[in-house]
Structure 1
Amino acid sequence: MVNYDREIAKELAVAAGRAYTRGIQAGSGGNVSARIPGGDLMLVKASGGSLGDCTADDFLITDFEGNLVEGKGKPTREALLHGYIYRICPRVNAVVHVHAPYSIGWSQTGRDLPSTTWHAKLKLCADIPVLNVPAAMVREQDLPMVDRLFRENSELPAFILADHGIVAVGKDACGAEHTAELIEETARVALLKAAVLKLGL
């Protein structure tokens, strides 16, 4: 049995529940994870479960390749992405991926999401890049694109997968979830601003 601080799982459940309550993820989509200190292992959401129903007992333990180490169920299909981020970014201890609608809407522009509010300018260290992965999951062949993003900005807080949603990272699960909320708010404002300018109001 893998030993780890149960507070990590509890915080992961809180972050998952908040993402669902705040409306940045509906149904059984999205996934969250947290690094288990001391080795190449992580806690991940099981495939098919809702973020709104997660408890500290519902997460699986996998290695960074997404292979199940402990727990019942099938790991999220995005476990490979989560593990890769932990492997290349030692500062990251949690990943939150949500199908946030305004961010997905913004991704249709193909442009980075700008920091359109003072809040975003203060909290985010850069515009948020949009990554065009032509699949429902980040595959092994797509990982070099993820690597490039973090090589270009080692402090990058998140990126948006085109037609798919936000991938936010942080030193802990709640921090990553808060970043995802801020990016969704920023995308909403950016789209509203574009609409207002188009109308000439």
Structure 2
Amino acid sequence: MLDDLRKEVCWANRRLPELDLVAWTSGNVCGRDPREPSLVVVKPSGVLFGDLRPEDMLVVDLDGRIVEGTLKPSVDTATALYVLREMPEIRSVIHTHSRYATAFAALGQAIQVYLTEHGDAFGIPIPCGRYAKIGGIEVGQEVVRVLREIKLQCPAVLMQNHGVFAVGANVRGALKAAAVVEDIARTVHLAMTVGKPIPIPPEEAARLYTVYHTKYGQKPGGGFE
């Protein structure tokens, strides 16, 4: 069942340590099937990323019931499923503890737009949500609240004292968002160690965003997935 999506979700999970976004078994990628939107492929809990195989991925419904698979699902499954239930336009949720972005989360601090890369990708600050209890839907509720507040323009939320939640219309798009957030956070952190970075004015950040999303890349409509 959902063999192609299982392969894609497995591939994306294995990419997380390669992109230096996770440590050990922490972090996960899930993907919603576009043809069967009530079914989601999720990562098993506690399995090393390098050991993951497509057949290890579980298929669950939007209420968390296992449809196919023998392993325990990720402990973040309830969070991801809440986001997917509440925001049907989202088809993938990725959670990481990538170190530089999570450092900003530990401060409860949004990342302002200091870089053209950031303006291109998101056009607005990377928001930071309030602290929420892990293990249930509370984190998902806060992620959804923030994403709705910013009208999903930035497809990622830092969660205070926790980490990064990135979303996308597909698995690859969510993975790109998670990687770009960490790249921005790393550069901003380095800038802050040597001085005070200069913010890009909101109107210029908006212009960068429009240009990137209408002209960059090979797909009609431009850049971010």
TM-score (norm 2): 0.79
Matched, 1:151 2:148: yes
1:121 aligns with 2:119: yes
- Give structure 1 regions of 4+ aligned residues with deviation exceeding 4 angstroms: none
In structure 1, the gaps of 5 or more residues are none
Instruction: Decide whether the 8 Å contact of 2:107 with 2:160 is kept in 1.
Output: no
| 1:84-99 pair list within 5 angstroms | 84-99=82-97
Amino acid at match of 1:24: L
Q: Are residues 164 and 177 of structure 1, via their aligned partners in 2, closer, same or farther at CA, if it must alter by over 3 Å? A: same
Distance in 2 between residues matched to 1:93 and 1:143, nearest whole Å: 14
Residue type at the aligned position of 1:194:
M
Find the aligned partners of 1:19 and 1:34 in 2 and give their Cα distance.
Answer: 15
- Cα 1:196/1:101, change in 2 over 3 Å: same
Contact 1:34/1:94 (CA < 8 Å) preserved in 2? Answer: yes
In 1, Cα distance between the equivalents of 2:165 and 2:176? 12
What does residue range 16-27 of structure 1 map to in structure 2 within 5 Å? 16-27=13-24
| Aligned counterpart for 1:73 among listed residues 59, 71, 74 | 71
Q: State the superposition RMSD in angstroms.
A: 1.8
Q: Is the 8 A contact 1:65 1:79 kept in 2?
A: no
Tell whether the 8 Å contact from 1:12 to 1:174 is kept in structure 2 after alignment.
no
Give the number of aligned pairs: 194
Q: Which has the higher contact order (CA 8 A, sep 6+)?
A: 1
Q: Counterpart of 2:213?
A: none
2:46 matches 1:15: no
C-alpha displacement of 1:107: 1.5
Equivalent-residue separation in structure 2 for 1:157 and 1:141 (angstroms): 19
In 1, the alpha carbon distance for the partners of 2:103 and 2:179 equals 15
2:108 maps to 1:110: yes
For 1:138 and 1:114, the matched residues in 2 are separated by 29
Residue 31 of structure 1 is matched in structure 2 by 28
TM-score (ref. length: structure 1): 0.87
Shift of 1:54: 2.3
In 1, the alpha carbon distance for the partners of 2:68 and 2:60 equals 7
Query: What are structure 2's unaligned runs of at least 5 residues?
Result: 197-225
Distance in 2, Cα, partners of 1:111 & 1:86:
25
Residue 96 of structure 1, CA deviation: 1.1
